[in-house]
Amino acid sequence: MTKIKLTSWNVNSVRLRAPQIARFTEEQQPDIIGLQEIKCLEEQFPFDEFKAMGFAHIEISGQKGMHGAATVSKFPLTRMDTDFCPEGHARHVSTLVDLGGKNDFEFHNFYIPAGGDEPDPKANPKFAHKMEFIDRMIDYFGDRSAENARQVLVGDFNIAPHENDVWSHKQLLKVVSHTQVEVDILNKLLACGGFTDCARALHGDAAKQDLFSWWSYRSRDINKSDRGRRLDHIWVSPALKQAAEKTKAAGHKIHRPCRLWERPSDHAPVTQILDFS
């Protein structure tokens, strides 16, 4: 195995979107998908449908009717013992991907809290929750940074850190997901493990609309208004940076057409190819 295709997708109900995930899988042939906001318990997950797509290995963190994350893979997965959510929500799945040798890597799949409407942790417990969740990520990955581990972080981070990650930098500076305090803490997370933000590394800082991954359901025509944000991320640790960079810009893609399918999620899937050759 010299190349592997990774996907991150907030599907906003895995049972509702399973047919769309099957269509996406048939068209794009991902090897691993990190799903967020699956909105079901583990026993409610549509295992048979995913196995029919070729995903024989599935690890789930489920919660009734809300949150939830799942990683589905064509390669064996070993669950890792991690704990990031201070509220005990089902918001992450950490696994070791077994590629059968030196190319094994960790796949950390996150659904970071949205944080409510007020970007003040003292006045808004939801925002405090978001900040503490990311602080725990910083502690974990910072403590492990000396290991030079092969790590991939994917998920709906609910933060658009760059000024070109939103449709209007000036108008969204005080809106949760693009406030300076969120940008600062996400950059701290990026730095603590020496991670590479694949979208920006491969497409550059000038890229804008092509990197949006989320559009509000209130937007009837996302292509006309294009009031999107880049909330969905794929990062790699230094040990995997070369594998990501080999693919150049073509290796990292936001699949905007999926957002236009019938009854879509408000997020589009994001893919990254790793080239181990």
* pLDDT tens digit sequence for 17-73: 999 999 999 999 999 999 999 999 999 999 999 999 999 999 999 999 999 999 999
The pLDDT tens digits of the residues spanning 160-216 come to 999 999 999 999 999 999 999 999 999 999 999 999 999 999 999 999 999 999 999
Residues 6+ apart with CB under 8 A from 162: 200, 205, 230
- In angstroms, the CA 98 to CA 274 distance is 15
Q: Domain of 101?
A: 3-275
Tokens of 17: 């979107």
Phi-psi label, residue 57: left if phi above 0, alpha if psi -120 to 50, beta otherwise: beta
Q: Give me the CATH number covering residue 35.
A: 3.60.10.10
Give the count of domains, the chain.
1
Q: N- to C-terminal Cα distance for the chain?
A: 9
**What's the pTM?**
0.97
Strands 92-97 and 105-111: antiparallel
